[in-house]
Structure 1
């Protein structure tokens, strides 16, 4: 697989998904004929390595990615997934300077989201209409170096809290006509959300493809 610069990919798939009401982990719920996480993996095409932060890594063996458990006991939230990914990159891929982080339950992210986020000396965090999306970001791996201590010290476990501590740059992302309500960050949390996402994706699959224009 070719590499997009020195950027790795990390999908946060550790959410419990209790509101979905099923026995299958939310990232593996079928959406338009594929596991939901497969739609997010498409946004990382051309990137290597790709990591998946998951409660049960064994469930993700079918994907072309390395699944990682949290390094902390119990459910420590998405920051623990970031911590696990950063530790793996420092150990196994020290040439990766940045990591593009995406949630597993956001199947309508722009296909060029990684390029849109870009890279920089500070975390670059997606934003739409002035609303920050802390779970969609390009992180310098170095900025995650203090995360383990942050978690061990019992600091707030919200991504936004850590971003506020280390500093960040917002990156505007445009609305997506093909997403529910045009929201590219629409995340599937409930059965109703799943139905809405399914309807939108099926609508896209059924849309006719315009033939290429031929000049005379």
Structure 2
């Protein structure tokens, strides 16, 4: 049975090109190419076939990616979604992950990595990109031999919020320099390379509530 995808992107040429690429993969089929989040809402409310994965552009008119993700979280919380982004938009991506998004893709991604991302989401539930992929493989082993402290867990929970690192420092009554140390130590311990990677790892491993 084919693995099904819906593309939601207001750039029609990109969406159609992406459709062609996905349909060229073995056992993958694009059910629809939509241009706004509202069109996706209409699709779901029309009792049509639900996809295995939704590819959701972050910046769209009418109903953007974040608004769409919030609607899906309420109405279809188990729907697997990958965000599409032109650039690394950390703040928005973290909000989308907290709303249930399973990872994000930059639009200049290589086709092989794109297929790997789709496979990851279907097999493990999340796609951790080149910044975080090694965490998917070995983080549990790292933590079994080097568990997190209570303060590290506190930092992770705050880092998964909308607070800046400076605000995290204030919350923890620590200096920004000490917070930088916590961050770098956790990046090494969890084998991630960015705040987005840290959030993805924490959500995937049920270390924070979403």
TM score, norm. by length of structure 1: 0.31
Higher relative contact order (CA 8 A, sep 6+): 1
Structure with greater strand share of residues: 1
Structure with greater helix share of residues: 2
